[in-house]
Each structure stands twice: as structure tokens, then as C-alpha cells.
């Protein structure tokens, strides 16, 4: 393992790619703390600290926490990278979904590189529009909460008035997101790994030292000490972290391999084809998208029930529903969370996985699944298999999704500590980390170096199959 790691720095091209990627990620972390002019950062931090302690606004505080984790942005400090990379991801998802229902976009997808560049151009324009809309509503909110310096919020004869503040704020946040998009594209072209995914992972990993410092500061050898973390609790957290990471790797790499037989063909006096291969179907085909969709959608019940509870304080129904969804560990919240994860897992798999196109592609290439006729029978079989393995993948995603809330409520530790024991953040780190390691391995093996597992481990990381 150590020798394989040292081999990275023996290849000049690979070494330069890694240094380039780390340099751009450092630029992202520097820009992460550059604030937008005119916003009172201390008042903004105090505002969200009070909201996170409870009340009708806790849903918005939770929304900004999720936003920061998923996008690499930082709305709670309102920096130029406050919106993160999420507008670009949202635009990409929108065009990915529209590509399945709009014939013109579907035709562009089939045109290869030229069509892909055209869709990418549309995605960038849409990213700008989404950034402007999101920045407008965010600045409107913090202005209404009086979190802007008076000289910026009120024209009153000053040089920088209200119009200038809005122009600077919207332009700055939009330019920050577009710059992050450009950083991701530069990493894709000149670095190593998926640039956008690495930016999101960097934002998640940067939160880990805060959790480690909290555990160290609250650690105690006295089992009976109140408000402290004893040896048993710390040991459980470490074991749970290792177990959840191992399970995440297993489900991320898990595949159902469908045997594929290539038809034999006679060309002259020679026989071609007849090879036996496998068609890998991922158990977790939706990745982290079902959890992201479910988590984002669950923010709105918290906001709605919180508002209804404050509007009708005498009603026990709205108060109970608000407490259930605001705490994040209520029975209704957990059940709704699991149901939404299953729903979005099947929804995303339906959008991404096209069994009919896959069956036609196998038929056109002269391949078939043994025992099944090419065409509709093959498509039905692939859809049936994917439906079954998606049930298992969605169950694991639901378990990973609720682990942080359950552990936080049971062990009485902050959510920013328990979030590294499961949830979307951990899955993103594991998925992006595996992709990065596999890309590095491919570069090493291409230059006759062994993989990270060494000769005794098969030479490289492979996907598990079931």
C-alpha cells in the first residue's frame, strides 16, 4: 500500500495532476471565507445560532446546514461562494431529466460530443439564471432580517446605496458559483478526478476537524461525568464510523453481474465472437441523489409546521407536528424520511436506467442473455432485476440516512459530529474517494505500476458483486 502510494510521485504526469488538483482546491477553500460586502457577519452568525436552538426558524437553519454540506457553499457566512456549486448541479439535473421527455434534447444527446457540448452550453446559461434567482431571494431574506450594515441597506446620501448593495451581492454570488464551475472544469481537464465532486467532498471533509476537536474537548475517563463523552461512547463512535464506512464502500461497489453471451460469426473460414462477458448493474444505482432529494424535501414540513405552530399557539396538533419534524428524530420524521428515500431511489433509477435501450444495444452488438430472446424479453428481465436490487440499495440508503439522527438523539451529541457516522456527507466522501483512487490506479497500471492492493490483493480495487 505504501509503495503504491509512493509510486504516485514517481510519475511526473500523475504527480503534476495531483498538485494541480490540490492547488485549485486550496483556491476554493480561500474563496470560501471571502464575504460579500455590506453584510454584518457577526449578526448573521448570531442569528443562525439562535435559530438552530429551536423555534419556527429552525427549519431554515437546518436547510442552510444541508445546503452547506451538499454544495460546498456557505450561506451562514454569506460569502462569494455562498451558493456553492448547487446551481450548476441543479441545472445539470434539470437537463438530464428533460433529456428523457423532450425529443430535441434527446436527439442532441445522441449526437455524441457535439450534442454534449451544446447541452453543456445550455446548462451554463441556466446556471446563471438559477444563481441570480437564489441570490436575490437570499439577499432579500437577510435584508428583511436587518443583517446588513445601515450604510449599505439605506441609500440616505451614501455612495453605496441599496441598488449598489443588491448589484454587488447578486453579481458576487453568481460570479462565485461560475468560478467554482470553472474550477471543476479545470480539474476535469488538467487534474485528476471529477472536479465538481471533489469540490463538494472538500467542503465536507473540511468540517471533520471541528467534529474531532469537539470529541477531544468533551472526552473524559470518568464514566459518571455529565455532559462528557466517556470511553464507551467514544469507542462506540469509532467502531460505528468504521462499520458505516465499510458498509458504504460495499454498497457503492456492489454489482449484480448479468451474464452476456456474444453470438458467433463465421467470416471466411474463421470463427469470431462467442465470448462470455458480464453486464454489471449497480445495487445503488441512484448514488446519493435519493438522500439529497429526500433531505431537501423534508425541510419544508419543518418550515410549514413551525409557521403554523407560531400562528396557532393554542393548537396541540401543529405544536406536535412541529416538534416531530424540527427535532429530526421523531417517529413521523423517520418514517417519512425512509418513504421518501425509497420513492426517490426508484424514481432516479427509472430516469437513469433505460432497459429498452440497453436491450436494443445488446441486440445490435450481436450479444444476448442466455435463455432470453433479444428485445422485449431481455428488457423486461433487466427491469425486473433492477427493481429487485434497487429495493436492497434503497434500504441501505434509508439506513445510512437515519443513522446520524438516531445516534445524535441516543448519545446526545451534536449533529455535526454524528453526521460523519452516516448520511449524505459520508456517502459523497466514500463515492468520490473511491472514484479518485480508481483513477489514480488506472494511471499507475497504465505505466506498469501495481495498484493500491498490491499483487497479493489482485492489483487493483474491484467492484463487489452479488
In a domain, residue 391? The reply is no
CATH of the domain at 172: 1.10.3370.10
Residue 205: alpha-carbon gap to chain centroid: 13
In a domain, residue 269? The reply is no
- Give the residue-averaged pLDDT of 235-263: 83
Domain that holds residue 61: 1-206
In a domain, residue 383? The reply is no
Angle between helices 12-31 and 423-446 (to 10 degrees): 160
The whole-number pLDDT of residue 144 equals: 79
Tally the residues of the chain. 466
In a domain, residue 100? The reply is yes
**In the structure, what pLDDT confidence band is assigned to residue 223 with cuts at 50, 70 and 90?**
low
In a domain, residue 436? The reply is no
**In the structure, what pLDDT confidence band is assigned to residue 456 with cuts at 50, 70 and 90?**
very low
pLDDT tens digits, one per residue of 191-218: 888 888 888 888 888 888 888 888 888 8
**In the structure, what pLDDT confidence band is assigned to residue 328 with cuts at 50, 70 and 90?**
low
In a domain, residue 286? The reply is no
Per-residue cell: 74: 456557505
Q: Which of 175-179, 222-226, 345-349 has the highest mean pLDDT?
A: 175-179
In a domain, residue 117? The reply is yes
In a domain, residue 281? The reply is no
Handedness of CA 186, 91, 111, 198 (dihedral sign): positive
The whole-number pLDDT of residue 160 equals: 46
pLDDT tens digits, one per residue of 286-308: 777 787 778 767 767 777 777 78
Q: Which residue has the cell 400562528?
A: 311
Residue 258 CB coordination number (10 Å): 20
Number of folded domains that form the chain: 1
Show Cβ contacts of residue 40 under 8 Å, excluding neighbours closer than 6 positions: 147, 148, 149
The whole-number pLDDT of residue 451 equals: 58
Amino acid at each position: 500500500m505504501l509503495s503504491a502510494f509512493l509510486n504516485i510521485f514517481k510519475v511526473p504526469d500523475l504527480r503534476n495532476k495531483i498538485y494541480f488538483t490540490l492547488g485549485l482546491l486550496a483556491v476554493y477553500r480561500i474563496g470560501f471565507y471571502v464575504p460579500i460586502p455590506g453584510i454584518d457577519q457577526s449578526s448573521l452568525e448570531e442569528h443562525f445560532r439562535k435559530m438552530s436552538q429551536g423555534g419556527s426558524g429552525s427549519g431554515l437553519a437546518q436547510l442552510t446546514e444541508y445546503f452547506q454540506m451538499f454544495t460546498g457553499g456557505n450561506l451562514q457566512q454569506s460569502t462569494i461562494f455562498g451558493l456553492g456549486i448547487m446551481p450548476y448541479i441543479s441545472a445539470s439535473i434539470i437537463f438530464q431529466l428533460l433529456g428523457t421527455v423532450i425529443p430535441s434534447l434527446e436527439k442532441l444527446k445522441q449526437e455524441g460530443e457535439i450534442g454534449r457540448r451544446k447541452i453543456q452550453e445550455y446548462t451554463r446559461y441556466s446556471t446563471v439564471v438559477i444563481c441570480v434567482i437564489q441570490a436575490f431571494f437570499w439577499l432579500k431574506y437577510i435584508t428583511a432580517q436587518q443583517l446588513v450594515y445601515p450604510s449599505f441597506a439605506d441609500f440616505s446620501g451614501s455612495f453605496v446605496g441599496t441598488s449598489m448593495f443588491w448589484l454587488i451581492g447578486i453579481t458576487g454570488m453568481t460570479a462565485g458559483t461560475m468560478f467554482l464551475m470553472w474550477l471543476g472544469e479545470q480539474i476535469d481537464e488538467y487534474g485528476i478526478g471529477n472536479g465538481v465532486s471533489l469540490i463538494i467532498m472538500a467542503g465536507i471533509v473540511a468540517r471533520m476537524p471541528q467534529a474531532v476537536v469537539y470529541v477531544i474537548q468533551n472526552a473524559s475517563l470518568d464514566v459518571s461525568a455529565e455532559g462528557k463523552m466517556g470511553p464507551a461512547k467514544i469507542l462506540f463512535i469509532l467502531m460505528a464510523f468504521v462499520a458505516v464506512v465499510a458498509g458504504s464502500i460495499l454498497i457503492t461497489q456492489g454489482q449484480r453481474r448479468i451474464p452476456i453471451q456474444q453470438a458467433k460469426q463465421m467470416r471466411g473460414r474463421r470463427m469470431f465472437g462467442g465470448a462470455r462477458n458480464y453486464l454489471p448493474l449497480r445495487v445503488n444505482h441512484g448514488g446519493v441523489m435519493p438522500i439529497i432529494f429526500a433531505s431537501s424535501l423534508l425541510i419544508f414540513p419543518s418550515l410549514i409546521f413551525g409557521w403554523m405552530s407560531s400562528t396557532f399557539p393554542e393548537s396541540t396538533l401543529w405544536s406536535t407536528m412541529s416538534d416531530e419534524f424540527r427535532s429530526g428524530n421523531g417517529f413521523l420524521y423517520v418514517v417519512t424520511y425512509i418513504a421518501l428515500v425509497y420513492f426517490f431511489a426508484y424514481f432516479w433509477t427509472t430516469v437513469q436506467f433505460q432497459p429498452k435501450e440497453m436491450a436494443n444495444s445488446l441486440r445490435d452488438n450481436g450479444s444476448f442473455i442466455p435463455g432470453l430472446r433479444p428485445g422485449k424479453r431481455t428488457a423486461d428481465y433487466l427491469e425486473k432485476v433492477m427493481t429487485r436490487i434497487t429495493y436492497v440499495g434503497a434500504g441501505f440508503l434509508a439506513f445510512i440516512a437515519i443513522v446520524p439522527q438516531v445516534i445524535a438523539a441516543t448519545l446526545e451529541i451534536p449533529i455535526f459530529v454524528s453526521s460523519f457516522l452516516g448520511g449524505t456527507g459520508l456517502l459523497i466522501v466514500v463515492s468520490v474517494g473511491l472514484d479518485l483512487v480508481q483513477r489514480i490506479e488506472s494511471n499507475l497500471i497504465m505505466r506498469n505500476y501495481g495498484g493500491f492492493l498490491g499483487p497479493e490483493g489482485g492489483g487493483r480495487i474491484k467492484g463487489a458483486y452479488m
